[in-house]
Amino acid sequence: MHVVRGERVVLPDLSVTVPTGQVVGLLGPSGGGKSTLMRAIVGVQQVESGEVTVLGEPAGSSALRHRVGYVTQSPSVYADLSVRHNLAYFAKVLGAPKDSVDRAIDAVDLRSHADSSVGTLSGGERSRVSLAAALVGDPELLVLDEPTVGLDPVLRRDLWNLFKRLAHEQGRTLFVSSHVMDEATRCDRLLLLRDGEILSDSTLPELLRRTGAPDAEQAFLALVDEAAANPREAR
């Protein structure tokens, strides 16, 4: 997949496969192409060349409308509506069953705030409402663009626990981006992305063995140095 914006190549011939039923982390610094890759997966990013296949269908096709959920960095819900009314609206758009609203509310643990206006909620609670909006369609794949950015450690932990439950207990695939390297420990598999190129596609133990680093951040820095020294061999 080759993506160009203006005169800048954002993703230079990137190739990657995301396995099903796992929490796959897309980690790397801001501006490295994470959001562009996620937009390409959900079919809202123009691709210069190559192809993106999601669950056996072309990215963005109507067949994927109920199978893929997308959560952007900014909460994509209506602040003047209650949590329940927001989810009822998205359920109506998707043609989801009536009980999907309550299931989504329970999944993100917002039962006590179900009738509260979204505008009165904290940042972490609004993030959970956005996640619930993606869940009402019962998607097989969830694409989450930096869903924990700006949250306190407790809320980050709770969201990652939810992500694991969705993948490991319900069999969904979660593709989660972050620029916080310590979140690598919470992922089943890691993609390390820098300047539009995949530096590593592996599990965290495999990454640490390969680099000899004590943690994900040091491993990432080691790969950056390796890529600079051997640009043709980096992968």
Residue 234 is predicted with a pLDDT of: 44
Torsions phi, psi of 23, nearest 5? -95, 110
Which two structure tokens, joined as six digits, stand for 233? 């061999």
235 pLDDT band, cuts 50/70/90, is very low
Q: Where are the beta strands (DSSP E) in the chain?
A: 3-5, 8-11, 23-27, 53-54, 57-58, 68-71, 141-144, 173-178, 189-194, 197-202
DSSP string, 14-26: ------TTSEEEE
**Residue at 54 is within a domain:** no
22 and 85 both lie in a single domain: no
**Residue at 98 is within a domain:** yes
170 and 220 both lie in a single domain: yes
Please list, in sequence order, all residues whose beta carbon lies within 8 angstroms of the beta carbon of residue 30, skipping any fewer than 6 positions away.
179
Given a cut of 80, is residue 230 above it in pLDDT?
no
Given a cut of 50, is residue 213 above it in pLDDT?
yes
149 and 227 both lie in a single domain: yes
Given a cut of 50, is residue 45 above it in pLDDT?
yes
Question: What gap in Å lies between CA 59 and CA 39, rounded to an integer?
Answer: 10
100 pLDDT band, cuts 50/70/90, is very high
pTM listed for this prediction:
0.87
* Mean pLDDT rounded to a whole number for the chain: 88
98 pLDDT band, cuts 50/70/90, is confident
Say how many domains are in the chain: 2
**Residue at 107 is within a domain:** yes
Give the range of the structural domain holding residue 101, as residue numbers without chain letter.
68-138
9 and 123 both lie in a single domain: no
38 and 149 both lie in a single domain: yes
**Residue at 53 is within a domain:** no
In the three-class reduction of DSSP (H, G, I as helix; E, B as strand; rest coil), residue 201 is classed as strand
87 and 171 both lie in a single domain: no
145 and 34 both lie in a single domain: yes
List, for residues 140-158, the tens digit of each pLDDT value: 999 999 888 777 788 788 8
Contact 113, 120 (CB under 8 A): no
**Residue at 103 is within a domain:** yes
Residue 40 is predicted with a pLDDT of: 92
Residue 231 is predicted with a pLDDT of: 59
Cα 99 to Cα 29, 91, 104, 111: the distances in Å are 39, 9, 9, 14
User: Considering 87, 118, 138, which residue would you say is the last residue of a domain?
Assistant: 138
206 and 150 both lie in a single domain: yes
3 and 85 both lie in a single domain: no
**Residue at 183 is within a domain:** yes
Please list, in sequence order, all residues whose beta carbon lies within 8 angstroms of the beta carbon of residue 28, skipping any fewer than 6 positions away.
34, 179, 192, 193, 194, 220
Element (H, E) at 46: none
Question: What gap in Å lies between CA 110 and CA 92, rounded to an integer?
Answer: 20
Residue 101 is predicted with a pLDDT of: 96
**What is the average pLDDT across 9-33?**
87
Question: What gap in Å lies between CA 70 and CA 39, rounded to an integer?
Answer: 9
User: Considering 138, 154, 184, which residue would you say is the last residue of a domain?
Assistant: 138
**Residue at 199 is within a domain:** yes
226 and 154 both lie in a single domain: yes
**What is the average pLDDT across 91-118?**
92
User: Considering 110, 138, 166, which residue would you say is the last residue of a domain?
Assistant: 138
Residue 151 is predicted with a pLDDT of: 76
Given a cut of 80, is residue 227 above it in pLDDT?
no
118 and 150 both lie in a single domain: no
List, for residues 57-96, the tens digit of each pLDDT value: 999 998 998 899 999 887 789 999 999 999 999 999 888 9
